[in-house]
Amino acid sequence: MSIESRSGSADLGIKGVATHGGGYIKYNVYGSLFEVSRKYVPPIRPVGRGANGIVCFAVGFWILLRGVSKCWSSRANGSYNESVSFLSQVEVLSSDTRELECLKKSSDTGSQNKSALLGRTLRGAQSLTKCSKALWLYNPCSRQSLQALRLSAGSRDKISTQPEDNTSLLRCPMTLDGRHFEDLFGRSRLSLGKLISCAAVNSETREEVAIKKIGNAFDNRIDAKRTLREIKLLRHMDHENVIAIKDIIRPPLKEDFNDVYIVYELMDTDLHQIIRSNQSLTDDHCRYFLYQVLRGLKYVHSANVLHRDLKPSNLLLNANCDLKIGDFGLARATSETDFMTEYVVTRWYRAPELLLNCSEYTAAIDIWSVGCILGEIMTRQPLFPGKDYVHQLRLITELIGSPDDSSLGFLRSENARRYVRQLPQYPKQNFSARFPNSSSGAVDLLEKMLIFDPHRRITVEEALCHPYLAPFYDINEEPICPRPFNFDFEQPLFTEEIIKELIYRES
């Protein structure tokens, strides 16, 4: 990977330029370099009315002048070069306003959209809002779909989102394994230490992709197995609501294969970012997001796979509000019995059977997670933000009520049943009162997902048939995986070197 100046010549001697008290982190990719901002610069809200609008405009104008003055000073001092000018532009881009245009559809747009899924969406949701991030991420496919919506849009609202921490914009050309990518608008997840994600455009195919770097991928056997598992799973699956892997980039020499670069189809954001933003979410948003999650989950479960880590940040969204399930690193076969050998499911989205160490769990754990996500969309807050597993159980029982003996049959351990019985007893809350701003259909489906006994919990097929999702439901458009996924490639005695060889073969 190389950084090129705007004149087109390669410059491998670029140093990090301090911006906003931060700086740039230089990465060596098989002998070449690229740089990512280490400092997240919050976006400025769109200019509105009154004092807030004036302040936002003033701050934005000041930042723009600051960037221009830096470039001018560099020229005056004789120290100007294309690379520094380029990085100054990155600083300005990082501070720029990112706006999402919400376009409310009118009733007759079906014939203008070729996608069957999008067509059903437009027919079923009279006020479904479509989101565009064209100001900071150009997506030609999304723009084509949005053009038809703009022609018939009844109204238009502007809103902005607050990206997650440690996110910054990056624009630079790069080359990986002979393939050239340019115009990166990067998302650096530096909090994980080893994971770097960025968006790129392939210079030859003009295809927009996301590139995830897993640094020192083979230092830890568990992490290496997780990477191999996700690669093989996503290579096996082919569904509109499951993220797709485009490529695995390998170095010229196998002995240099220490970092893994996975190329995915590009998505603009994730559900976590949308929930925590000031984006107005309607019941039609909620219905559309939920339908897509369940549609993708039906396909995943039909492949004999449990996701085991469903949460808003693993549900990816593009500018059309199309949703794809991502991050299959914790997935397992539905037929396995010894599941509890590693951490599964973020606590807030963890089903009661997992909290109670039930070793033989089923696809119902994913349905519970979807219920938690649905409740979070409805309230814009995590439904069960437990501090530990005891607190998590208390929050659950405070909402859905303490289970009676008939609801504990799934627990084979008498000690586990005894533990649940001695917990404080709570009556079930009235869901309609608990979620007063949500539609009755959404509340009813949520109740059926948040059932303590996994055997009584609604299945993904039953959820898709629920009246709340009737505007979208079409069994002919909800495919299943043609063949189950085989986890036989995972052997307990596999070393890091064996896993490295298996991933190299996938590239």
User: For 11-34, what is each residue's pLDDT tens digit?
Assistant: 333 334 443 344 444 444 433 333
With a cut of 90, say whether residue 192 has pLDDT above it. Answer: no
Is 453 among the residues known to form the active site? no
User: For 240-258, what is each residue's pLDDT tens digit?
Assistant: 999 988 888 878 777 788 8
Residue whose token pair is 């009162």: 433
Same domain, 15 and 158: yes
Residue 279 banded pLDDT, cuts 50, 70, 90: confident
Same domain, 26 and 134: yes
Residue 190: give its domain's CATH number.
3.30.200.20
Total domains in the chain come to: 2
Quote the percentage of the chain above a pLDDT of 70: 58
Beta carbons within 8 Å of 479's beta carbon, 6+ residues apart: 239, 299
Same domain, 252 and 377: no
User: For 447-463, what is each residue's pLDDT tens digit?
Assistant: 999 999 999 999 999 99
Quote the percentage of the chain above a pLDDT of 90: 28
Which structural domain range is residue 19 located in? Answer: 1-98+128-280+494-507
**Inside any domain, residue 484:** no
Same domain, 183 and 327: no
For 55-189, where are the E strands, in sequence order? 99-104, 129-130, 155-160, 174-176, 179-187
**Inside any domain, residue 483:** no
The DSSP string of 302-349 is HTTEE-----GGGEEE-TT--EEE---TT-EETT-S--TTS--S-GGG
**Inside any domain, residue 167:** yes
Same domain, 232 and 265: yes
Phi and psi at residue 157, in whole multiples of 5°? -120, 150
**Inside any domain, residue 113:** no
Residue 348: give its domain's CATH number.
1.10.510.10
User: For 54-76, what is each residue's pLDDT tens digit?
Assistant: 444 555 566 666 655 654 554 44
Among residues 309, 322, 327, 366, the one annotated as catalytic is: 309
With a cut of 70, say whether residue 363 has pLDDT above it. Answer: yes
Helices (H) and strands (E) in the chain, counts: 15, 16
Q: What is the three-class DSSP state of 507?
A: coil
